[in-house]
Amino acid sequence: MVKIQISLSGLIWVFIAGIPLVLGLSGCGARPGAVQDKALADHFNNLYELQPPDSPARFALNQIADRQSWRSFHILTGDWPSTPEQRKQARSHLNRLKADIDIGMKWPVKSREQYNIPYARVKPGIDGNINEPAWTQALIFEGEFAWNGLDKKESGAIWKIMWDEQYLYIGAHFPDTSLTAIDNIPGKSAPWDGDVMEIFIRPSLRMRHYWEVVINPAGTVYDGLNINNKWGNFIVDAEENIKGLKIAVKASGSVHNAGDTDQGYSVEVAFPFAEMPNYMLGNPPRPGETIFFMLVRFDCDSTGARRFYAVRPLLYGGHNIFGYLMGTLVKIN
């Protein structure tokens, strides 16, 4: 009598090795599209490591390492058993990621834009009026750019920024014939579901912390301290609030009233340096120091359609910390 002995580990190996055959994932029963799926997954090999850290596509490249992408790779290469629906979702996720990375790889703006931020010798009154004389000292941008676009839209939007030893001052005006403001109700609604201005402030390249401030035409404010992680996402601490933040909004028209003629809204902000990473120990800002910032807005029209704009060309959105503008604090005697 011949005895056949198979160890437990051997049985496990036979079982695992047989899964692709049973599910029709390899061999003669290979599922349709398996070669194309594997080619899609293989497209990402070494992209994360080989592109320079300051690549315009870095925000999207980092998402190659996130959990959802990692899972999608294994599904499409056939490493993991999966259902047709799971493969469909994996394929959709990686195609979207590939498209985002391709946009960044072709982006012609290869270096960070740099500007001088003037010193405010006269403090502006934070009352929603950005036309007072104090604002003539500011760095001023006119017009706006759709996200992922390079064409300037002469919309009448105006953005202003300046500083002193206490505050970073930011002012803006947006023409808008249909003002919409959504309350901040956690789990139900958020201001960015309607018209808003968003301010992103990142004082340090070394530290990936940055403040996000969202303001709508009704004066509703959301602020949160975020940190970008190496997987291309961000973690937000919405319980962190900016102490001493001053904001005023002036709307021309009324919110959610289709019967009137709106003209737009203005936002005026005094952002305390003492609440920014790098300045939290009480050290005041000095000429020559730099901050990184981005100013964006969401425009929600009367049909509910939403459009996204930035003060300067911007890839991916306001949380793309690699696309922020660099501002040098200057003080001319």
Rounded to 5 degrees, φ, ψ at 73 are -60, -50
pLDDT tens-place string over residues 64-105: 989 999 999 999 998 889 999 999 999 999 999 999 999 999
Residue 306, classified by CB atoms within 10 Å of its CB into exposed (0-12), middle (13-18) or buried (19+), is: middle
Q: In sequence order, which residues have a C-beta less than 8 Å from that of residue 324 and are 6 or more positions away?
A: 112, 200, 202, 292, 293, 294
| Residue ranges of the chain with per-residue pLDDT less than 70 | 1-32, 254, 256-260
pLDDT (0 to 100) of residue 146: 96
Query: Buried (b) or exposed (e) across 196-228, using 16+ Cβ within 10 A?
Result: bbbbbbbbeeeebbbbbbbbbbbebbbbbbbeb
Q: Provide the residue type at 160 as one letter.
A: K
Residue 30's pLDDT is: 53
For the record, the structure tokens of 316 come out as 């991916």
Q: Considering the entire predicted model, what is its pTM?
A: 0.85
**What is the predicted pLDDT for the residue at 148?**
94
Three-state secondary structure readout of 52-64: CCCCCCHHHHHHH
Q: Any idea where the domains of the chain sit in the sequence?
A: 8-106, 114-329
In this predicted structure, what is the pLDDT of residue 259? 60
Handedness of CA 234, 236, 242, 148 (dihedral sign): positive
Calpha distance 310→198 (Å, rounded): 9
pLDDT at 130: 96
Q: What is the CATH code for 114-329?
A: 2.60.40.1190
pLDDT at 300: 87
Task: Write the single-letter amino acid at 11.
Answer: L
Pure H helices in the chain: 8-23, 34-42, 47-50, 58-61, 67-76, 84-106
Q: What pLDDT is recorded for position 237?
A: 81
User: Hey, which bits of the chain come out as E strands?
Assistant: 114-117, 139-146, 152-163, 167-175, 196-202, 209-215, 221-228, 234-237, 246-252, 264-272, 290-300, 306-310, 325-329
User: Could you give the CA distance from residue 158 to residue 299 in angstroms, rounded to a whole number?
Assistant: 15
Q: Which two tokens stand for residue 293?
A: 């910032």
Name the pairing type of β-strands 246-252 and 264-272.
antiparallel
Structure token digits, residue 257? 């009233």
Note the pLDDT of residue 221: 94
Looking at the DSSP assignment, which residues form a beta bridge with residue 141? 159
Distance, in Å, from the CA atom of 174 to the CA atom of 301, rounded to the nearest integer, reads 13
d(CA 34, CA 23): 13
pLDDT of residue 21: 34
Token pair, residue 184, equals: 């901040």
The pLDDT value recorded for residue 32 is 59
At 153, list the tokens. 């839209």
